[in-house]
Amino acid sequence: MRKVAIIGIGHAKFGRRQDVNVCEIAFEAIKPALEDAGVSAKDIEYMPVGTIGMWYEEGLPAVVIADYCGLSGVGLARFEAACASGSAAFFSGYMAIASGMADLVLVVGVEKMREVDTPTAVELIGRAGSYLWEFENFGLTFPGYYALHATAHMAKFGTTEEDLALVAVKNHHYANMNPYAHLHEEITVEKALASPVVAWPLKLYDCCTICDGAAAVVLASEEKVKELGIDTPVWVAGLGFSSDSGNLTKRQSYVGLMATVWASQKAYKMAKVGPEDVDCATVHDCFTIAEIMAYEDLGFCKKGEGPKLIREEQTYVGGKIPVNMDGGLKAKGHPIGATGVSMMVELTRQLREEVEPRERQVPMKNYVALAHNVGGTGHYCYVTILRR
């Protein structure tokens, strides 16, 4: 296997973007990614695209995006792993280079979710699970899925609605400093607790936003890194993938996601690091309870101690393990296919120590960062470890 580096990053503004279609928003990420890498469209050999689609009009998004951005002719595929689609595309791009099949790959994550109304978007995400056994009769929604985990976690560990709100307060705080984030609004625990219930115990401020967005990264082989004279390549040090049952009834427990545990173990092993070596992480906080479970399942603390970590502000900059310095899915926004790639963009900025404003920059000790991207409620999981 060859070494693979991230050499270029690009990120569109996340939010309700009715000013652009899927190709136009992808361009906003692709152009800066190519410029950052110092390469042009004709140098790219393969472009995996992470996107679910359904909520926008195009049926073959990878094809029309490549055409719009002058990339027709490259190898193309669209990747679906629910909310981990971006990481699935990233994994494919990684493999293309690691295997020797390509030297320069452009990974794109994109979603346009606001071209349909909210009940339709809620339905399309809700059907992502086991349609016949969980949606047809029972109308489960994604907030509903994570709320099932929240009630189980609260019953077992005494986790409170205030603990959940603390995660939202942190992620809003950092999103407010991130120019690419959907929401720029500081909130308080009181405000979060007073917001309308979406799926009890989850309230509006416990939930990520349904939004539009795109992110892109350029991946290169070690040979290409040298040839291009890249000064701060960020290397893919470890990658782990996993999944769990489509039906929640087949899971052994609801207080965590086994897919996260399994994927992170693989990634840690490949990167030869442990959770204690990670300087900062982006974790899959589609709902506040998801961030708390991620702390535990990734090994940042013991099972059941996630609430303590946020109560002690250990996941802020300066804490034991800073998490979601970009505002997370919660407040940066969660344009589904874009999320996994957006995590790589943020971690690359962190590892290059170029984050602005500086309050968002994590002090680096080991120059190791971890991205945790879940599809569904642990239906899919990818954990990627980057190192400068």
Partner 1 sequence: MRAMAYDPASGVLRSRTLTLSYEIPVSKIARFWEALAEGKVLGTVCKKCGRKMFPPQAVCDKCHSTDIDWFEIKSVGEVVAFTHIVVRPASFQDQKVYTPAIAEFKEEGVRVLAWVAPEVPKRQIKVGMKVRVEPRIEDNRRTWVFVPAE
Half-sphere exposure of 335 (CA within 13 A, CB side): 35
Stretch 150-209 residues interacting with partner 1 (CB under 8 A): 150-152, 154-155, 196-202
Can you say how many angstroms the Cα of residue 350 is from the centroid of all Cα atoms in its chain?
Answer: 15
Taking the complex as a whole, how short is the minimal distance between the CB of residue 342 and partner 1, in angstroms? 25
- Check 23, 83, 207, 208 and give the catalytic one: 83
Each residue 52-91 as x (binds partner 1 by CB under 8 A) or -, in order, gives -----x----------------------------------
Taking the complex as a whole, how short is the minimal distance between the CB of residue 374 and partner 1, in angstroms? 17
Reply yes or no on whether 372 is catalytic. Answer: no
Q: Structure tokens of 167?
A: 């995660």
Is the CB of 98 or the CB of 148 nearer to partner 1? 148
Compute the distance between CA of residue 354 and CA of residue 218 in angstroms, rounded to an integer: 18
Choice from 15, 48, 86, 143 touching partner 1 (CB under 8 A) = 143
Is the CB of 65 or the CB of 122 nearer to partner 1? 122
In DSSP terms, 75 is beta-bridged to 46
Residue 250 in contact with partner 1, rule: CB under 8 A: yes
Give the closest residue to 263 by CA, choosing from 338, 346, 371, 129: 371
Compute the distance between CA of residue 277 and CA of residue 289 in angstroms, rounded to an integer: 24
Size of the site for partner 1 (CB under 8 A): 44
Number of residues in the chain: 388
Taking the complex as a whole, how short is the minimal distance between the CB of residue 130 and partner 1, in angstroms? 7
Amino acid in the structure at residue 33: A
Tell me, what DSSP letter sits at residue 65?
A: H
Residue 120 in contact with partner 1, rule: CB under 8 A: yes
- Could you tell me the sign of the dihedral formed by the alpha carbons of 121, 126, 129, 135, in that order? negative
Reply yes or no on whether 184 is catalytic. Answer: no
What value does the CA radius of gyration of the chain take, rounded to a whole number of Å?
19
Residue 24 in contact with partner 1, rule: CB under 8 A: no
- Binding positions for partner 1, rule: CB under 8 A: 18-19, 57, 117-120, 122-123, 126, 130, 132-141, 143-144, 147-152, 154-155, 196-202, 247-251, 254
> What amino acid positions are annotated as catalytic residues?
83, 334
